[in-house]
Amino acid sequence: MINNKFFGRRRSEPTRPVPPGQYLEDGFPVLSAGPTPRVDLATWDLSISIGGSTVGTWNWESLNALPQTDIHTDIHCVTKWSKQDTDWRGVTIDTLLADAGVETPTGFVMAGCEGGYTTNVPVPDVLEGKGLLVHTYDNEPLAPEHGGPVRLLIPHLYLWKSAKWIRSLTFMDQDAPGFWERYGYHMYGDPWREQRYTND
């Protein structure tokens, strides 16, 4: 339906199109289901398991010793804001899997976080540089409220898939809903197809 007297402000003209229903945000809003958890870098680690077996574990030092990747990208939050031209640094999932010396898995992956948050993604969506564990935003250490020390980043999906405070990646054969997905958010979450909620 048309809202006759609505014209919109369209305050910053996007340099590139934004996905349907999104508006451009200059700031960096924070969204999370609970308070920012306290993560101790001395005990922080990240583990990858495939088919129920742990195939690799990295601590802060070993993660930083791996080849680092810079990514310049746009991000889209399901709460309607998008932010263009963001800069991140971290380690691709490809690099982690290669370091673990395992064959590329198939199926789905569940990201697990400090505090119990989870989110599910198909494996192809985190391979070939599409998924990274990032620790640096705009050349600064990633702030705790934005998911620091380390968060997942999968910029082509809505940002709830880019789980903050990540601790584990669990590769599995079958898809299963994570935290928000169980509350009715979309299993895949493609912003360009506006897959916000179940059945979108």
Binding residues vs another protein (CB under 8 A): 1-11, 20-23, 25-38, 79-81, 115-116, 145, 177, 179-184, 196-200
Q: Name residue 61's amino acid.
A: E
CB closer to another protein, 43 vs 53 = 43
Taking the complex as a whole, the smallest distance from the CB of residue 113 to another protein amounts, in Å, to 11
CB closer to another protein, 21 vs 51 = 21
One-character DSSP codes across 135-181: EEETTEEPPGGGT-S-EEE-TTS-GGGS-SSEEEEEEESS----HHH
CB closer to another protein, 88 vs 180 = 180
Taking the complex as a whole, the smallest distance from the CB of residue 143 to another protein amounts, in Å, to 10
Tokens of 126: 């985190």
Rounded to whole angstroms, how far apart are CA atoms 104 and 58?
18
Residues 6 or more apart in contact with residue 47 via CB below 8 angstroms: 54, 56, 57, 58, 167, 168, 169
Q: Does the N-terminal peptide bond of residue 191 adopt cis geometry, omega within 30 degrees of 0?
A: no
Taking the complex as a whole, the smallest distance from the CB of residue 1 to another protein amounts, in Å, to 5
Taking the complex as a whole, the smallest distance from the CB of residue 86 to another protein amounts, in Å, to 14
Q: Is residue 137 within 8 Å of 143, Cβ to Cβ? A: yes
CB closer to another protein, 10 vs 16 = 10
CB closer to another protein, 22 vs 95 = 22
CB closer to another protein, 3 vs 53 = 3
Closest CA to 73 of 85, 59, 60: 85
Q: Is residue 165 within 8 Å of 115, Cβ to Cβ? A: yes
Tokens of 120: 């599910």
Taking the complex as a whole, the smallest distance from the CB of residue 182 to another protein amounts, in Å, to 5
Taking the complex as a whole, the smallest distance from the CB of residue 12 to another protein amounts, in Å, to 10
